[in-house]
């Protein structure tokens, strides 16, 4: 097979088949926003958005941590 159908054309050996892909510039599952555990703002940015995370972010924006 040619094209996409031929990308994974390899003979199986035992119960294992490996496919090695590098540098896909994407992820196989969607990644939703994950708040960083640390984001340090330097100089005038210290303690300002977007350099606040966790409790400091919630307090600065007035968001209730319980939802």
Instruction: Give the H/E segment covering residue 58.
Output: helix 54-61
Tens digit of each residue's pLDDT, the chain (67 residues): 677 777 667 777 788 767 777 666 666 666 676 666 777 788 888 888 888 888 888 999 999 989 8
Q: Could you tell me which residues come within 8 angstroms of residue 60 by beta carbon, excluding any fewer than 6 positions away?
A: 49, 52
Is the Cα torsion angle 41, 47, 51, 52 positive or negative in sign? positive
Q: Residue 34 is encoded by which pair of tokens?
A: 């994950």
Helix/strand/coil for 63: coil
């Amino acid at each position: 097979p040619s094209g996409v159908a031929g990308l994974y054309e390899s003979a199986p050996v035992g119960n294992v088949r490996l496919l090695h892909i590098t540098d896909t510039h994407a992820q196989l599952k969607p990644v939703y926003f994950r708040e960083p555990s640390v984001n340090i703002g330097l100089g005038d940015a210290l303690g300002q958005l977007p350099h606040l995370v966790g409790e400091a972010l919630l307090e600065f924006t007035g968001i209730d941590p319980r939802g």
